[in-house]
Homo-oligomer: A and B are copies of this chain.
């Protein structure tokens, strides 16, 4: 691949940014982007990473990845979190506020950046799409390529999304392990255990807990999905039955569970004595509900960031896919493509086979893929065989990080800034 093939007369720099909530494998995508760019020097001179994502572009705070050793870049593949810093920062619409977009182009121009790789979810694909439009509009043509990432697995078109498989594996394993604990104790102690997982709008992570068991007797006995309106009576009846039949009940609840009116259960209005909003999430809420109604002793866990940063137990498939989308993004760019992103295409479930496909950014932007009804069991509390066939390969294989003194060795970037070239600073 040469600079010529991209329609450019000379190599240009690339900008790479991480966006939104991070994952255990987003750095594997960064690794794929940077390692692949280093193989295409005739097209891409250097990769600049935004310090804290798009914020780094706006503030002209660019990390010079050429100062990072090959060994350290390779170590990104096994390091969780966002090594360059991510951001929850949504650019306004093009009509509402052009200031941010013109600033981005200004910074890109100043640093001869001709490629924009945006590693994020559906919001970020929307932003990347707008940046491409704006570049064209301002006469600064820019190659904008998305790199998909979200633990929520809610991107459309792509079969699955890097970041999800690892969080899903963590949840399935944790459910299986905690269930063995509860089963041991249930005779004289805890009978109900609740694990709260992420997924505000889609229940993919909650569904993944379903992989922990095979038979009705196996945990989890109840999964609460955001896609299924919560019905307290039916829920309590199911918990009661589970305790009667199996001696205990393991419940996995999505943070996004809502009641019939569409209101988040976690925001159901409980306040503490000082009038503060209730501190616990939906996990403690449903746990307390079973105690109040049925009198069972309960325990609850909220995995929170642990589930999306648990690099120690990622899915090997997920790591491979995260790296592959980073690599493909660069190959798309140097191959002359624009306003697209690499996606995962499943060609077979058993044995699992996948390949990299391509989709326009516009097809992904701001759309959400929810768990379909045929993936949820008839009673609304479990997963179907079809769901299991879909999910199971995504948690396949282990890919352990290296250890020293009992702890995983994770890399920290040097993070050396590219010297600023613009006089004007930008206030966020």
A residues touching B (Cβ–Cβ < 8 Å)?
Answer: 18, 21-22, 24, 52, 55, 79-83, 85-89, 169, 172-174, 176-185, 187-189, 193, 195, 211-212, 269-274, 276, 278-281, 284-285, 287-288, 292, 299-306, 308-313, 315, 392, 395-398, 400, 403, 405-408, 410
What are 11 A-B pairs with beta-carbon distances under 8 A?
Answer: A22-B185, A24-B177, A82-B184, A86-B185, A174-B306, A177-B312, A178-B306, A181-B308, A278-B280, A299-B305, A301-B303
Chain B residues with CB under 8 A of A85: 183-184, 187
Residue of B nearest to A397 (CB): B406
Contact A176 B302 (CB under 8 A): no
* Contact A406/B181 with A55-B187, A88-B189 known, Cβ cut-off 8 Å: no
Given contact pairs A87-B188, A271-B273, a sample of 14 additional A-B residue pairs in the complex whose CB atoms are under 8 Å apart: A52-B188, A80-B181, A81-B181, A169-B407, A174-B306, A177-B309, A177-B312, A178-B305, A276-B288, A278-B279, A284-B284, A301-B302, A398-B400, A400-B400
Contact B178 A309 (CB under 8 A): yes
Residue of B nearest to A54 (CB): B188
* Contact A406/B315 with A177-B306, A303-B301 known, Cβ cut-off 8 Å: yes
Chain B residues with CB under 8 A of A22: 181, 184-185
C-alpha spacing A131/B169, complex, angstroms:
44
A176 CB, min distance to chain B CBs, angstroms: 6
C-alpha spacing A211/B395, complex, angstroms:
29
* Contact A304/B305 with A173-B312, A188-B52, A284-B279 known, Cβ cut-off 8 Å: no
Number of copies: 2
C-alpha spacing A55/B182, complex, angstroms:
16
Contact A177 B310 (CB under 8 A): yes
Most buried by B among A174, A179, A400, A407: A407
* Contact A407/B211 with A292-B276, A311-B177 known, Cβ cut-off 8 Å: yes
C-alpha spacing A343/B2, complex, angstroms:
67
Chain B residues with CB under 8 A of A305: 178, 181-182, 193, 299, 301
Chain B residues with CB under 8 A of A309: 177-178, 180-181
* Contact A406/B410 with A269-B273, A299-B305, A305-B181 known, Cβ cut-off 8 Å: no
Contact B187 A410 (CB under 8 A): no
A104 CB, min distance to chain B CBs, angstroms: 16
Contact A406 B395 (CB under 8 A): yes
Interface of A is mostly: mixed
A270 CB, min distance to chain B CBs, angstroms: 4
For A407, give its contact among B88, B176, B302 (CB under 8 Å): B176
Chain B residues with CB under 8 A of A407: 169, 172-173, 176, 211-212, 395
C-alpha spacing A182/B262, complex, angstroms:
30
Contact B180 A79 (CB under 8 A): yes
Chain B residues with CB under 8 A of A179: 81
Which 9 pairs from chain A and chain B are nearest by CB? A81-B180, A82-B184, A280-B280, A395-B406, A301-B304, A279-B280, A279-B284, A52-B187, A177-B309
C-alpha spacing A284/B301, complex, angstroms:
12
Chain B residues with CB under 8 A of A313: 312-313
C-alpha spacing A182/B80, complex, angstroms:
11
A49 CB, min distance to chain B CBs, angstroms: 12
Chain B residues with CB under 8 A of A55: 187-188
Contact B176 A86 (CB under 8 A): no
Most buried by B among A278, A392, A403: A278
Chain B residues with CB under 8 A of A395: 405-407
Chain B residues with CB under 8 A of A308: 181
C-alpha spacing A173/B311, complex, angstroms:
9
C-alpha spacing A69/B79, complex, angstroms:
41
Chain B residues with CB under 8 A of A172: 406-407
C-alpha spacing A189/B22, complex, angstroms:
12
Chain B residues with CB under 8 A of A300: 302, 304
